[in-house]
Homo-oligomer: A and B are copies of this chain.
Amino acid sequence: MTLSWSVLPCETFVQKKLYKRFILNILGYWSIGASPRGVSQVGSNEESKLEEARQEYIESLSETMEMYGLSPSMGRLYGIMFFHEDPMTLDEMRSRTGMSKTSMSTGVRALSRLKLVHKKWQKGVRKDLYEAEHDQFRSFVEFFAQQWEKEIQINRKALAKTEQNLKRLLEEEDISPETTDRIRKDLEKLKEAKRYYAWLERMVDVFESGKIFDLVSIPEDTE
């Protein structure tokens, strides 16, 4: 009795997850039928086999990108674009993902802001074209440099304000020794934090300038 209580919810959970993935796969397969712009329609059987093979890696990209705060759908979109040779239009994305064009629009712009994807102009094509950044090293470096940069900017600003407030508080007359002591300790912590941001700034620079690749070299080839 007690056992069934603690076991059942877990099963339900797993079922839900699996069910979701199942549905997504179906949608994925469905959308394959759509004939990509300009590409001759080969047997859709081959097409679906290819998609199926890619699927595993796409899904794992989606999963890892979720770790970095992106939604799974955006991760999946990136995965699809990763494999797609030519730049994609919003409509292609829509048919590949089975999602709405609106979502593609917002999604691709989010990926774009993160430098994981970029717009590509092509003569004679009126639609916006996007392609995944080919250079994964560049993506990586830009992604984190950007995040760290923002972290520095936001926190330094708040830090300054807090520091100011604490110092002002310290100068008030009717402060108990205990509180004074605490304020001192707080200020010490903030000072250390400043050192951290200074270092992080160096990191950002090392990343953005590409010096990181001198320090940690890219392996020649791996088999």
Contact between chains at B219 and A202 (CB < 8 Å): yes
> Which residues of chain A from 142 to 160 have any CB-CB distance to chain B below 8 Å in the complex?
144, 147, 150-151, 154-155, 157-159
Nearest CB to that of A59 among chain B residues? B158
Partner of A175, one of B46, B67, B147: B46
Given A57-B159, A83-B186, also A64-B151 (CB < 8 A)? yes
Task: List chain B residues, Cβ under 8 A from A60.
Answer: 154-155, 157-159
CA distance A175 to B49 in the complex (A): 11
> Which residues of chain A from 39 to 69 have any CB-CB distance to chain B below 8 Å in the complex?
40, 42-43, 46-47, 49-50, 52-57, 59-61, 63-64, 67-69
Number of chain copies forming the complex: 2
- Cβ-based interface call for A16 (8 A): no
- Residues of chain A touching chain B, judged by Cβ–Cβ distance below 8 Å, are 40, 42-43, 46-47, 49-50, 52-57, 59-61, 63-64, 67-69, 82-83, 85, 136-137, 140, 144, 147, 150-151, 154-155, 157-159, 161-162, 165-166, 169, 175-176, 178-179, 182-183, 185-186, 189-190, 192-196, 198-200, 202-203, 206, 215-219, 221-222
